[in-house]
Amino acid sequence: MQIFLGTLAQVGMQIGAVTPGEWAHAAQKLLLESGIKDPQSYVLDPEIVKQQFFMQMQQQMQLQEQQQAAALLSEVAKAQKANNSARFR
């Protein structure tokens, strides 16, 4: 059941049908309807899932910004080196 729910969650989020918090809530409800009395032990609280998702997104964005800045600095350094080499010829 967990593998099935995990697969559905990935697909649903990829196509933009659900957010992680909405999915956690739906998964808890589905488990409850399936007869599992304590779905919270299988699926995290939807608010926690939502917070974790946004924290991960923020970290990924910061990492991408750092990578872009490093790439830009590398290009600037290459251009300066090429410029200096051309001056001394």
The string of pLDDT tens digits covering residues 25-83 is 888 888 899 898 888 888 778 788 788 888 888 999 999 999 999 999 999 888 888 88
Q: What is the pLDDT of residues 10-23, one digit of tens each?
A: 888 788 888 888 88
d(CA 12, CA 18): 6
**27 within 8 A of 5, measured Cβ to Cβ:** yes
- The whole-number pLDDT of residue 67 equals 94
Residue 18: per-residue pLDDT: 80
Domain map (residue ranges) of the chain: 2-87
